[in-house]
Chain A
Amino acid sequence: AQSVAQPEDQVNVAEGNPLTVKCTYSVSGNPYLFWYVQYPNRGLQFLLKYITGDNLVKGSYGFEAEFNKSQTSFHLKKPSALVSDSALYFCAVRPRGGNNRLAFGKGNQVVVIP
């Protein structure tokens, strides 16, 4: 069975400081990895994905994520957080082949303090 862990409930960071949102996963094989962001009462917006190749993936709004196969992690990072980055962030995995369904982590609320 596939599972995604986002260990922190809420991440607080001062504006301008680096932001990290952690994600680890348990999936057989080499899954596809995703990050999505959700603003209040809105659907999910795609940030970035890892398919293959370079372990550092760059995405929308200045976000990036690093795939670490040995640690089965895919942490989301942004060098300098903005107040507008305050939102709910979801990590998701999808196995290659099989049922192709996304499995989501529980989400992390990010609060960027002005």
Chain B
Amino acid sequence: GAVVSQHPSWVICKSGTSVKIECRSLDFQATTMFWYRQFPKQSLMLMATSNEGSKATYEQGVEKDKFLINHASLTLSTLTVTSAHPEDSSFYICSARESGSGARDEQFFGPGTRLTVL
């Protein structure tokens, strides 16, 4: 099956710093990538949808200046948490949708990145 990687798998940073998380589709091209946030023992909350070569579409209540998303190529999307604060601590998961049509448009999930802001 298709593989999606995330880097780093975990990161600890000081309050006020910025953190970049990378999401890569390793063996397929993904025109669309999704960024989710997950709190402990809760479901995934969609933050934004990222399309290659265009601006990301953010969900209601998600600050686009706080969570910068760049999807510069068909295999890489990045999420930058700017001026991180302790309340940004969470598990961030990306997913990538393989280009195709109909039933072949599946989403494949990365392993997640644990962000802890001190």
Chain A residues within 8 Å of B, Cβ to Cβ: 32, 36, 41-46, 49, 51-52, 88, 90, 100-102, 104-107, 109
Contacts and interface: CB of A to CB of B under 8 A. Distances in A.
Interface in B92-109: 93, 95, 97, 103, 105-109
B28 interface: no
A113 to B, nearest CB: 19
Contacts of A104: 43-44
A43 B110 contact: yes
13 contacts: A36-B109, A43-B93, A44-B95, A45-B109, A46-B1, A46-B109, A51-B103, A101-B49, A105-B43, A106-B42, A107-B41, A107-B42, A109-B41
B91 interface: yes
Contacts, number: 46
A92 to B, nearest CB: 9
Please classify how large the interface on chain B is, using the bins under 10, 10 to 19, 20 to 34, 35 or more.
Answer: 20 to 34
6 closest A-B pairs by CB: A44-B109, A43-B111, A43-B109, A43-B112, A51-B103, A106-B43
Contacts of A32: 103
Contacts of A45: 109
B7 interface: no
A42 B46 CA distance: 17
Interface of B: 1, 4, 6, 34, 41-44, 46, 49, 91, 93, 95, 97, 103, 105-112, 114
A42 B6 CA distance: 11
B46 A101 contact: yes
Given A51-B103, A100-B105, A102-B107, A41 B44 contact: no
A107 B109 CA distance: 16
Contacts of B42: 106-107
B2 to A, nearest CB: 10
Given A51-B103, A100-B105, A101-B49, A44 B93 contact: yes
Nearest to B45: A104
Contact of A90 (B43, B103, B114): B43
Contacts of B97: 100
